[in-house]
A and B are shown apart, each in its own frame.
Chain A
Amino acid sequence: MSARYGMVIDLDRCTGCGACMVACAAENNVPPAHSRATARTGITPMLVRRLSNGTPGADAREAFIPITCMQCGHETPCVSVCPQQAVEVDKATGIVLQMPQRCLGCRYCMTACPYHARYFNWWDPQWPPGMEQTLNPGVSVRMRGVVEKCNLCHARYHAATEKAAGAGETQIDPLDYVPACVEACPTVAILFGDLADPSDPVSIAADSPDCFRLLAQIGTDPKIHYKTTQDWIRALADRNSLRSHSPEAQHV
C-alpha cells in the first residue's frame, strides 16, 4: 500500500528557534548564503516565518509558522507545469520530488506554487575552505540555475528502504525515516508520519479540529497540517477562517 507522508506542525509549540532550518540546510547540503543573498534569494526549503496579530502594547501576540513544501497530493501545481518532467509525485510515498539534474531553471514551478516553497539557485554553491568536509554524501549538491525544494529528506527514505531491504523486509521501520527538521525540533512541534495509515499518530493528530491546512480550498490536498488552539493564529493563517488584509508576517 502506498504511503502519504506528511506532517502536523504544532504552532503553539513552535518557538521560532530555527533549528529546523539549520538541520534542513545541513542535511540537504544547502550552501551558505551568498553575501548578496536576501530573504527572497536565499535557499530555505524550511523557512520559519513570524506571525503577528498586529496589535500594539500588551495585547501584542506573536507566533511562528514553519513553511515548507506542502507535498500537494492532488493536481500538484508544480508537477503539471514543469515542461520537462523534472518534478514528479512519488507514488510510493506521496512525496513531491524535484530532479535538479533535469531542471531547465525556467522557474514556472515557482510561479505555480502558492506557498512560495520553491527556491532557485541564484549563485554557484560555494562552501568556505574545509566546510565541504561536512557535506552529506547521500545528497547531491545542486548547481546554479536550477530549482530545489523540500523533499522530506528523501535521502533518509532511501537509506531506510535500503536498510529494510538488507534485513529482508518490504516495509521500512518508521523510526528509520525521520526528516532532519523533525529530528532537530527541540519542542517536538513537528509530527511526521504516514497520513494514509489511520493508526499513525500523524493521521490522528491531523484529524483534530485544531488542525488546518494552508490554502486547502484551492484543492491541491496539501499534506502539511498546522495545529493551533489560538484563534488569532487560526484566523490569520487559515484563509477559510478569516481573510485579513493587514497581515504581518516576517522571516525569522
Chain B
Amino acid sequence: MSEIALLDRRWITRGVQRASAGRFALWLAPWFVLLFLGAYAAGLCFFYGLNQTNMDNRFAFGLWIFADLSIIAMGAGAFFTGFLVYILKQQDLKPVLNSAVVVGFICYSGAVAVLMVDVGQPLRAWFTFWYPNTHSMLTEVTFCISCYLLVLILEYIPLLLKNRQLRKIPAFLVFEHQFHKLVPGLAGVGAFLSFFHQGSLGGLYGVLRGRPFAYRQGLAIWPSTFFLFILSALAVGPSFLMLVVATAEKVTGKQLVQNSVYRKLGFISGVLLALYVAAKAIDTYIWLNITSPAVGFGPRDFYSYWPLSSLFLFIATVPLGLLPAILMIVPVTARKRGCLLCGAVLASGGVLLNRFVMTVQTLALPTLSFDSFLKYTPSWQEVATFGGVIAYGVIVYSLSYRYLPLFAARKGADPNASQD
C-alpha cells in the first residue's frame, strides 16, 4: 500500500469501508477540473468586471441570481431537518441530520460565493451592515444569509471534529463534546434565520411594484411571495435531501439510511408541497384578478410570449407540483422507492422552475407598453462559475462522506461503528 493510501486510510472512520484512494481521486478529478474552471471564470469577472457576463442594463439579474435562489431553496433541508429533529423531536430523521447540515453548508456557502462574484463592488459588501436600509428585502437577505451561514459553520464544526484523526487531539474532543450541547439551540436559531431568509428571497421579487409580473400584495410588510417561498423551500428541502442521500447510495453502492427515513421525508415533502400548490393557486388567482388589473396589467401581458407562456404555470403547478405531492403522500406509490424519488425529482424541478420564472421571466417581460420581450443567454463565464459551485458542493460532500461519520447510526450507537 502506498504512503498516500496509508495516510488516507488513517483519516477514514474506523470500521467503515470506503473506496480506494485511487478510485476516490479518480471520482474527484473531473469535479476539481470543473471547480478550477469556475474559479478561473470568477477570477475573470473579478479582474475584468461583470462585462464578462451576458447580463446587461435590462437583464440586470441572470443565471447567478436564479442559481442563488434555487440553491438556497434546496438547502432548506438543513434547517428544516434540524428543526424536526431537535425542536419537534422527530428522532427517526436523525440518520440524515449530518448529511442535511453538510448539504445546507454547501448550499449557503456556495450561494454566498456566487453572490460575491455577482456584485460589482464585492469589497463593499460590509456597507450593508454599516448603512443598512431596513426597508430593503435585500438587507434582510444579507443579514439572514450571513448569520445562518455562521450557524451552519458552527453546526458543521462538531461534525468535522468527529474525524478519526482530529478526535485524537484532546482539546478538540473536549470542544466537540461541549459544543455539541449547543447544537439544539443552534438548530432553533438556524430555523428562525433560514425561515426569514427563504421568505426574504421571495419578498425580493414580491415587493417590486414596478414589475407587475412579480409584485404581490401580502400581510403586513411581507408580500405573499415571502410566505410562498418559505413553504416551497420547506417542501423541497426534504425532497432534495432524499435525492442527495439516494445519489450517495447509488455512487457508493451502499444502503446508507433505512427506507422508513425516505418515506418520512417524502411524506413531509409531499404534504407541504400539496399545501404550497393550494396556496400558490389562491395567490395566482388574486394576483391575476385583483393585484395586476389594478395597475393596468392582465394575463395577456404576462403569458403572451413563447416559450414563457401559461404552459410554464401549468407545468409548475400540475406535473411538478400536484403529481409529486401525490406520489409522495399516497401509500401505494410512497412505498416504492422509485416513485418516491421520482416525486422528489419532480418536486425539485417544480421549485427550480418557480425560481426561474420569478428571476428570469420577471425581467424578460416588458413593462413599458412600447417595449419588447427581452432575451438573455448566460455567458460561458456565468455557466462555468455556476458549474464551479456545483463541483464545490460535490467535492465537499464527497470529502465529508469519506472522512466524517456522515450517516451516524441511531441514538446510543457509536458513530465509529456505524453501518456505513
Question: What is the bound-complex CA distance between A236 and B128, given in angstroms?
Answer: 40
A148: min CB distance to chain B, Å:
11
Given contacts A38-B56, A41-B57, A119-B57, contact A106 B138 (CB under 8 A): yes
Determine whether the beta carbon of B120 is less than 8 Å from that of A107.
yes
Given contacts A38-B56, A103-B121, A120-B50, contact A236 B369 (CB under 8 A): yes
Question: What is the bound-complex CA distance between A147 and B137, given in angstroms?
Answer: 19
Closest A residue by C-beta to B140 = A83
Contact of A146 among B57, B121, B128, B370 (CB under 8 A): B121
Q: Is A157 an interface residue (CB 8 A)?
A: no
Determine whether the beta carbon of A120 is less than 8 Å from that of B295.
no
B309: min CB distance to chain A, Å:
13
Q: Which of B86-94, B208-216, B225-233, B383-391 contacts A (4 or more CB under 8 A)?
A: B208-216
Determine whether the beta carbon of A105 is less than 8 Å from that of B119.
yes
Question: What is the bound-complex CA distance between A110 and B362, given in angstroms?
Answer: 12
0 or 1 for each of A91-113: is its CB under 8 Å from B? (1 = yes): 00000000000111111101111
Determine whether the beta carbon of B51 is less than 8 Å from that of A36.
yes
Determine whether the beta carbon of A219 is less than 8 Å from that of B295.
yes
Determine whether the beta carbon of B136 is less than 8 Å from that of A218.
no
Determine whether the beta carbon of B304 is less than 8 Å from that of A40.
no
Determine whether the beta carbon of A77 is less than 8 Å from that of B208.
yes
A249: min CB distance to chain B, Å:
4
- Chain B CB within 10 Å, residue with most, of A105, A111, A121, A122: A111
Question: What is the bound-complex CA distance between A122 and B48, given in angstroms?
Answer: 9
Interface members, chain B 158-196 (any A CB < 8 Å): none
Q: Is A164 an interface residue (CB 8 A)?
A: no
B residues lining the A interface (CB < 8 Å): 49-51, 55-61, 118-121, 124-125, 127-128, 130-133, 135-139, 141-142, 204, 207-212, 294-296, 298, 300-301, 304, 362-363, 366-372
- Having A102-B124, A114-B368, one finds 17 other A-B pairs with CB under 8 Å, namely A36-B51, A65-B370, A80-B136, A83-B132, A84-B127, A84-B128, A103-B124, A104-B125, A111-B208, A118-B57, A121-B120, A145-B121, A215-B210, A219-B295, A239-B369, A243-B300, A247-B369
What are 17 A-B pairs at a CB distance below 8 A? A42-B57, A80-B133, A80-B136, A83-B141, A84-B128, A105-B119, A112-B209, A121-B120, A123-B51, A215-B367, A218-B209, A219-B295, A236-B370, A242-B369, A245-B304, A249-B368, A249-B372
Nearest 7 pairs of A and B residues by beta carbon: A105-B120, A145-B120, A114-B210, A40-B56, A107-B60, A110-B60, A83-B138
